[in-house]
Amino acid sequence: MIKHYDITEYKNPLFTVDSVLFTVKNGALKVLMVKRASEPFAGRWGLPGGFVDVDIDDSVSMTALRKLKEKTSVAPQYLEQLQTYSGINRDPRGFSVTLVYFALIAEAQVSTHIETVDDAKWIDIDEVNNLPVAFDHKYIIEQAKARLKQKALYSMAPVYCLPEHFTVGQFKSVIETIIGKPVQRKSIIRRIEAAGMFETLDEKVKSGGRLAQLYKVKAGVDIVNFERNLSV
Amino acid sequence: MIKHYDITEYKNPLFTVDSVLFTVKNGALKVLMVKRASEPFAGRWGLPGGFVDVDIDDSVSMTALRKLKEKTSVAPQYLEQLQTYSGINRDPRGFSVTLVYFALIAEAQVSTHIETVDDAKWIDIDEVNNLPVAFDHKYIIEQAKARLKQKALYSMAPVYCLPEHFTVGQFKSVIETIIGKPVQRKSIIRRIEAAGMFETLDEKVKSGGRLAQLYKVKAGVDIVNFERNLSV
DNA sequence: AGAATAGTGTCTGTGAGACAGTATGTA
DNA sequence: TACATACTGTCTCACAGACACTATTCT
């Protein structure tokens, strides 16, 4: 595969697609990382991704999904572009360009599969700094984390870190994990109602106290954004 | 140059960098477009951009700036990534990837130079639909316009469509042109004060009535974002 | 004086934060 | 009954919208 990208011969930028896939697990924000088997940076940890295969990928988002499925077996619930990173120094092979996707998934959806893949692991966001990380992926993860934090303040996107059926308490907890400080339960309830993108289930669920109402995302709705942020 | 990108031979995605450069001129939002001299889509209008030259570009933002300078002679005051567009059908030569930048400039900075370049023109945003446009650039311009509108609601970025010294009235007018509806003068004044990124000049300027206070952006400050949008 | 634009003062509306109070489950 | 968590009611605060009022310049 790599032979098509011999930069010294064709002066073509090396183009890859990577993803920062987040989830929240046990009250901690985690990012999916892969132990690199090949050079450059063999043995170090990097983001899941790779080269576009123009024979099977219709667009670069398909590349991102394909690479993520190899590690998690499923497509993430939320996927959007983060940014493109490029430069002459980020890859020892030469000028390289990486389009990075930003993705969210419920941990429960992938937990069993990820244990069977021994080169991919959920890394606690605070542990990334202690790992040997490939390329500029440490920096990219920081940027993705900042984006996720912003999204948690003005949008309902973090709901995609939750299982299909979830409670207000779980949603609140995910948001608090992402933004790193407490929010008012009331604010979450207000937004759930105002967004109009959720429906209540008849079922309730145990929570240590009073039974909690279950919610799910209505079919076919888009993520709702708000005109006002939660407080930072 | 194009020989390095023979996709049938190397199955390498075609990678280009384009820019959507906006300005506001005579109360209308304009986008810089270029009449294409070569295939594909020769004779149609497209976004300024082209291939990365790995010998002279340190990163893809340099490619964007270099291509914009060819048309405007100066670097835009504001430049950020919009998105990357890709697919097997957007370019007749094969799978292609375009990283698109989003840029703002004051019309006065480029007006004289642009008149000397006969293949580049400011196109009124409402006229784009009536032109023969290359690739998916019509769609990309729509997306860029939506992003600009959002930015006008929550950030001070549109100030970069104004000359170095500007009045509240001019700023208000630019914002109204971008979002397509009137805003309260008071709201602009409140934001100018709250942002803390401007300083007043001693000079005032004629405006048909009372003299208007001139403002400028303080040296070295970043664009300020607000936690609350203007009303949509 | 009258028109035009700049700028101020201040009231209303909306939605987030704070937090007390109520409801309903388990040990 | 004690507690834990879920949910509601409601006050405050910050900031955008609305708009009347004042200020300054030109004709």
A193 CA to C22 C1', in Å?
Answer: 21
**Low-confidence residues in chain A, pLDDT < 70:** 1-11
Compute the distance between CA of residue B76 and CA of residue B94 in angstroms, rounded to an integer: 31
Residue nearest to nucleotide C8 (CA to C1'): B186
Q: Is the CB of A11 under 7 A from strand D?
A: no
A227: closest chain B residue by CA: B229
Q: Would you state the pLDDT for residue B11? A: 67
Count helices and strands (H / E) in chain A.
6, 9
Q: Would you state the pLDDT for residue A117? A: 82
Q: Would you state the pLDDT for residue A135? A: 95
Compute the distance between CA of residue A65 and CA of residue B27 in angstroms, rounded to an integer: 43
Compute the distance between CA of residue A52 and CA of residue A16 in angstroms, rounded to an integer: 6
CB pairs under 8 A between A and B: 86
Q: Would you state the pLDDT for residue A1? A: 37
Quick one: three-class SS letters along chain B? CHHHHCHHHHCCCEEEEEEEEEEEECCEEEEEEEECCCCCCCCCEECCEEECCCCCCCCHHHHHHHHHHHHHCCCCCEEEEEEEEEECCCCCCCCEEEEEEEEECCHHHHHHHHHHCCCEEEEECCCHHHCCECCCHHHHHHHHHHHHHHHHHHECHHHHHCCCCECHHHHHHHHHHHHCCCCCHHHHHHHHHHHCCEEEEEEEECCCCCCEEEEEECCCCCCCECCECCCC
Interface mutation target, options B59, B101, B136, B230, chain A, most CBs of A under 10 Å? B59
B116 CA to C9 C1', in Å?
Answer: 50
Q: Which nucleotide is nearest to A214 (CA to C1')?
A: D6
A187 CA to C6 C1', in Å?
Answer: 40
Residues whose CB falls within 8 Å of the CB of residue B145, separated by 6 or more in sequence, listed in order = B22, B29, B125
Q: Is the CB of A185 under 7 A from strand D?
A: yes
Q: Would you state the pLDDT for residue A10? A: 45
Chain B residue numbers with beta carbons less than 8 Å from the beta carbon of A12 are 4-5, 10, 12, 15, 54
Q: Which nucleotide is nearest to B229 (CA to C1')?
A: D16
Assigned CATH topology for domain B155-217:
Arc Repressor Mutant, subunit A (1.10.10)
- Nearest Cα residue to A53 out of A20, A4, A89: A4
Q: Which of A15, A88, A227 is opposite residue B15, by nearest beta carbon?
A: A15
CA A92 to chain CA mean position, Å: 26
Task: Name the minimum distance, in Å, from the CA of A225 to any CA of chain B.
Answer: 11
Q: Where in chain A are the domains? A: 2-152, 155-217
Q: Which of B86, B153, B228 is opposite residue A60, by nearest beta carbon?
A: B86
Q: Is the CB of A201 under 7 A from strand D?
A: no
The predicted-structure confidence for B75-131, as pLDDT tens digits, reads as follows: 999 999 999 999 999 999 999 999 999 999 999 999 888 888 889 999 999 999 999
Q: Would you state the pLDDT for residue A178? A: 98
Task: Name the minimum distance, in Å, from the CA of A23 to any CA of chain B.
Answer: 24
A186 CA to C20 C1', in Å?
Answer: 13
Task: Name the architecture of domain A2-152.
Answer: Alpha-Beta Complex (3.90)
Residue nearest to nucleotide D24 (CA to C1'): B210
Would an 8 Å CB–CB cutoff place B155 in contact with chain A? no
**Low-confidence residues in chain B, pLDDT < 70:** 1-11
Q: Would you state the pLDDT for residue A6? A: 39
Q: Is the CB of A209 under 7 A from strand D?
A: yes
Contact B4/A11, CB-based, under 8 Å?
yes
Q: Which of B59, B83, B94 is opposite residue A81, by nearest beta carbon?
A: B83
Residues pairing with B46 in the sheet: B34
Q: Enumerate the nucleotides of strand D whose atoms come under 7 Å of any protein CB.
A: 3-10, 15-20, 23-26
- Nearest Cα residue to B72 out of B34, B27, B127: B34
Task: Name the minimum distance, in Å, from the CA of A203 to any CA of chain B.
Answer: 36
Other C-beta atoms lying within 10 Å of the C-beta of residue A77: 17
Compute the distance between CA of residue B158 and CA of residue B78 in angstroms, rounded to an integer: 9
Contact B88/A52, CB-based, under 8 Å?
no
Task: Give the DSSP H or E segment for A63.
Answer: helix A60-72
Chain B residue numbers with beta carbons less than 8 Å from the beta carbon of A5 are 12
Compute the distance between CA of residue A32 and CA of residue A144 in angstroms, rounded to an integer: 12
